[in-house]
Structure 1
Amino acid sequence: MATWDDVHRLAMAMPEAEERSPRDWRVKGKGFVSERPLRPADLAALGPSAPDGPIMGARVADLGVKEALLADDPAVYFTTPHFDGYASVLVRLDRIGVEELEELVVEAWLCKAPKRLAKAYLDAQGSMT
């Protein structure tokens, strides 16, 4: 399962990514993945099902993608009322595989990267296959 070292390695591999503060990765000043400990309101909303391991927040393309992830693997992906209406998911880091984490980090980066930078990245990836 994934660790914060995996998140760091994957996030920093993205063009122009920076770790603004510990466990908060950004591209051109816009956050794409970060540590997201549960707050008291989150714990109250989740009740006994609240996870106690490391939690990462990740941007997703839209609410449809968010809903699909939540439905597809609720053991890994979840949300709280704080994120209602926002295209972000919470991830139980100790339950996601590194390959799936990589896909999530890349997609989160693509959501926040400037269009030209994202296009250049995707073009370069296409030429590598």
Structure 2
Amino acid sequence: MTSSANSRPCSRMPPPAPCLGDLEGASMTGVTLEIARSLALALPEATEQDHHGMSSFRIRGKIFATVPDPGHLRIMVGEDEIRACVAEDPHAFSELYWGKRLACVTVQLSEVGSKRLSELLTEAWLRKAPASVAREFRRRAGYAS
């Protein structure tokens, strides 16, 4: 395991498409909500909508991330990825349960780089996107099936 917030030691997903990589002006560690929003909305068909008083990012109505406050993002990746993130860097990532279910990873934006954040947003988007949309995205980005 590595200590860098930008590495992906346990992830199953390939890196995001080149257009979702580091943004100009983003540091290796620490992103702003503005950068996080840009990364989320760069995904195909992604929209931003209110969700009980907080912003949410969606693909065809399905939420893949929420903004509980300006310093954090909640990203709906799988349980294995949530646990891997927390093990990778407990200062940057924490688990969030919804009832008894491990629901998402909470990301402290000041502790994560734009590349790692983009990877997580892409993975969450792929989990929520319709199969045909996800398949086309993977094809265009050169992802393995």
Aligned ranges 1:39-50 → 2 under 5 Å: none
- Aligned to 1:32, which of 64, 69, 82? 64
Question: Of the two, which has the highest radius of gyration?
Answer: 1
Give SS of 1:18's match: strand
TM-score by length of 1: 0.77
Q: Which consecutive residues of structure 2, in runs of 5 or more, have no partner in the other structure?
A: 1-29
Matched residue, 2:75: 58
Matched residue, 1:78: 94
Alignment RMSD (CA, Å)? 1.9
Give the Cα separation in 2 of the matches to 1:113 and 1:81.
22
Contact 1:33 1:57 in 2 (8 A): yes
Give the Cα separation in 1 of the matches to 2:106 and 2:92.
8
- More strand as a share of residues: 2
Matched residue, 1:2: 31
Q: For 2:37, give the aligned amino acid.
A: H
Q: Which consecutive residues of structure 1, in runs of 5 or more, have no partner in the other structure?
A: 38-52
Equivalent pairs counted in the alignment come to 111
Identity %: 31
Shift of 1:99: 1.0
Distance 1:119 1:81, change over 3 A: closer
TM-score by length of 2: 0.69
